[in-house]
Structure 1
């Protein structure tokens, strides 16, 4: 009889025994300790009268108790629905009531009056997650509740609006593991660095993959350049997943190349990385940047670069996100007719991932596929700006803005206009000591692109609004717009 993913995941956890499993804030926790913590949470839920397959809501933080509770739930086959802790207590409370889960797990600092009231109102059991153990905050009721039809209900990045939940079935997590490892990973490798938010697909990929292959993991609560570099140097990491924003931060930090000398490559995912930044990073540190493309609905990557592909094609296909993973099919279709477009032409990216089912999944990403099967992303169709009938892809304008040497990053969105419907607006984050002006940047866009691409205004900010996964937040940028009076 074939083992299920849950059984193989539980076996991965058991394989650690007393070996180190997770390091958090300088302390290593063994696999046995992680398993014991998960079992303690399960015992609390059992004592509260929850059925073994009743779903729980986790107000998740990148902390050891939260990671251990997630691992324990996956190993036991209990569904978990994630709630971001990066919200107000009122927003967390509203999420709890919407989910109507049988239990709520949260850090002591997140058990605010609002969260306690929401948990009590929904009749859920409450469990406080502490560093060394758990405490039951409320007994809960055993009435029938909505079930999460899968192992995890994870959150999207919230780039274009409030995060949505996507349910990932346990068997689909096999694809998650493969998209990270390519089928090649060993327990004795340097640790997996887990620093992407655990509530989203990036953090889930790192955590699930680490346990599945019995690999050590270093858990960071939040990203900072010094902390990230310290982990790389201390553990001599060979490859690390990064967001495009992290690539820019590391480049701007101008670190000694020796600090990153153990890295064979970094894998950039979760958003487009512009070619000039990729080139500058590789020239500065001598480390290849391999890009990948995926989405929450695919539970991992669908196309990626490999070291072998990079050696053969890396110099010629700088803007590409690589080729489809083995077994995955991708195609580009016309957004209106659904018909396949010719090789090299732009359209909507669709993909078929066997573990997700037999259907083609349509994305909101504009892409093209060349004659060698390499996929290049060109922006999001749902973010296109319609300026009086002219379609504008925000990424096109952003590309011009970030090409200026004094611009660190930029966000471009469509804002309402009484005459034209929508017009582009930009917010930019500049490097220290920058003297570039709004007029300079508008002139740069005017010189590079057709006139309808020129933003109505550009504002300068110390830090762009970002999602927990470090993507620029579209609603956050829109909130910076102040129409002329």
Structure 2
């Protein structure tokens, strides 16, 4: 087994109380022993067919066998190469072919549908925790470039363009999830509804395992299944991406349904202060927003409960203060640091990168006040320049989502021969709600400058989203590329 600190912690927890419940999935519990036995079988197989530090592709779904595979590769000190089986069959097949990995793990349906057998790739089919993997051994092994110290090659959300892979090291993940060593399993049951193909899901699972905390694993966020898990397991804290939080906010759930919850954390995409306040007003639960990125290996800023109680009224809309040892600053385009409340580009030194790391330039426009609270003002690379006027898509989206019929919205720039670009919006309505594009346009005219009002508003059944819950802007652009251009 690996000497990495994260690997040692996983091994320790799997042996801590083997007979205790570890993971609930689809109403059934699996013990730490069942999870550990499956993980160790995967560790042995991946080392046998992939070498001492194997790169292993996993077609990840939120299911116990794939969870065991993730832990198994980490026990072996290998690299988990995240493959999203829900990105579309053709793209996933091309991704797998380009990776040319020595070992590929998935369930039977995914392997049959998405993998063209290659003489260099050994396939491990996982059906349940209890059954041995069905192994299809390669005729000759692939020899990918070794990535020493890399725990997970994570696929980014691909919000603005093609997804890319980011290397998350063992040290980065250990910094985020490994605290003091537990002597006993933790009390309380967590709920994991973030997808394992996103860093939020990987982080949450590894955090639970590192703390020896049992958890309910949901295949995806679905309101009724999530609410049932909350009622049964009574967690004190839950995590909801903004789209899921708005679904809960506008549901028929009551304070009694969520009575155990003391705080909701929310990240991965912007959440308006109005939505956060509405959630708190309805359920009596504070919403603690945060700021993170796959490139950082986790969070770098967020609200604590103490900060929320003391500062939220004055700092509402902020994503909190630097966390986890991170350093934050705002600079101009030349890289010159700016003072408190001056807007510019955000730069970060994540605590996960350890001493000696340099400043990482983001594409986020931000400001930091004198007390260290961070506001994200929008993406610099998504600003729409309409006839010389700058339109920030998040400002338009926030205004649209203030309409009582709107569940969610996303805004992009569409090329325009005369104006350069104009904003266009895609809107998803709440269940049972009705609204016309003209009504929404009138609503915006009372709240936005004329140049900020979209030239087209498309009302759709569902906004296409990435696994992290962000709008898939590539799909949105393709949608509007087929629509007529309005020179408004």
Please name the residue that 2:205 is paired with: 207
Please name the residue that 1:344 is paired with: 341
The 2-side partners of 1:455 and 1:354 are apart by 40
What is the correspondence of 1:10-29 to structure 2 with a 5 Å cutoff?
10-29=11-30
Report deviation, 1:187.
3.4
Query: CA 1:353–1:484 in 2, change beyond 3 Å: closer, same or farther?
Result: closer
TM-score normalised by structure 2 residue count: 0.93
The 2-side partners of 1:435 and 1:218 are apart by 35
Q: CA RMSD in A?
A: 2.2
Query: Is the 8 Å Cα contact of residues 320 and 375 (structure 1) preserved in structure 2?
Result: yes
Report deviation, 1:457.
0.5
Q: Structure 1 residues 446-455 or 407-416, which shifts more?
A: 446-455
Q: Does 1:45 align with 2:46?
A: yes
Report deviation, 1:92.
1.7
Aligned pair count reads: 477
What is the correspondence of 1:372-391 to structure 2 with a 5 Å cutoff?
372-391=371-390
Q: Deviations over 1:396-426 (max 9, x none)?
A: 1111111111211111011121222221100
Q: Deviations over 1:212-262 (max 9, x none)?
A: 111112111111111101111111110011101111100111212111000
Report deviation, 1:390.
2.4
Query: Is the 8 Å Cα contact of residues 385 and 422 (structure 1) preserved in structure 2?
Result: yes
SS for the counterpart of 1:463 is coil
What is the correspondence of 1:125-204 to structure 2 with a 5 Å cutoff?
125-131=122-128, 132-133=130-131, 134-149=133-148, 150-177=150-177, 187-204=185-202
What is the correspondence of 1:221-236 to structure 2 with a 5 Å cutoff?
221-236=219-234
Query: Is the 8 Å Cα contact of residues 56 and 80 (structure 1) preserved in structure 2?
Result: yes
Report deviation, 1:33.
1.2
The 1-side partners of 2:418 and 2:432 are apart by 38
Query: CA 1:199–1:316 in 2, change beyond 3 Å: closer, same or farther?
Result: same
**Runs of 4+ in structure 1 displaced over 6 angstroms?**
181-186
The 2-side partners of 1:65 and 1:413 are apart by 39
Query: Is the 8 Å Cα contact of residues 266 and 287 (structure 1) preserved in structure 2?
Result: yes
Report deviation, 1:483.
1.7
Query: Is the 8 Å Cα contact of residues 47 and 76 (structure 2) preserved in structure 1?
Result: no
Please name the residue that 2:56 is paired with: 56
Please name the residue that 2:405 is paired with: 406
Query: Is the 8 Å Cα contact of residues 45 and 125 (structure 1) preserved in structure 2?
Result: no
Query: CA 1:427–1:89 in 2, change beyond 3 Å: closer, same or farther?
Result: closer
Query: CA 1:57–1:469 in 2, change beyond 3 Å: closer, same or farther?
Result: same
Q: Does 1:476 align with 2:472?
A: no
The 1-side partners of 2:429 and 2:202 are apart by 32
TM-score normalised by structure 1 residue count: 0.93
SS for the counterpart of 1:379 is strand
Query: Is the 8 Å Cα contact of residues 408 and 429 (structure 1) preserved in structure 2?
Result: yes
Query: Is the 8 Å Cα contact of residues 56 and 73 (structure 2) preserved in structure 1?
Result: no
Q: Does 1:440 align with 2:439?
A: yes
Report deviation, 1:19.
1.5
Q: Does 1:88 align with 2:88?
A: yes
The 2-side partners of 1:32 and 1:381 are apart by 49
The 2-side partners of 1:185 and 1:322 are apart by 32
The 2-side partners of 1:167 and 1:456 are apart by 40
Query: CA 1:270–1:114 in 2, change beyond 3 Å: closer, same or farther?
Result: closer
Query: Is the 8 Å Cα contact of residues 81 and 148 (structure 1) preserved in structure 2?
Result: no
Report deviation, 1:108.
0.6
Please name the residue that 1:32 is paired with: 33
Q: Deviations over 1:170-194 (max 9, x none)?
A: 010023327xx99999832312211
The 1-side partners of 2:447 and 2:281 are apart by 26
Query: CA 1:341–1:185 in 2, change beyond 3 Å: closer, same or farther?
Result: farther
Report deviation, 1:126.
0.7
Q: Deviations over 1:317-363 (max 9, x none)?
A: 110111111521111111x2111122112111111124314111111
The 2-side partners of 1:192 and 1:82 are apart by 23
Report deviation, 1:3.
7.0
The 2-side partners of 1:59 and 1:328 are apart by 32
Query: Is the 8 Å Cα contact of residues 267 and 292 (structure 1) preserved in structure 2?
Result: yes
Query: CA 1:465–1:404 in 2, change beyond 3 Å: closer, same or farther?
Result: same
The 2-side partners of 1:3 and 1:138 are apart by 28
Report deviation, 1:10.
2.4
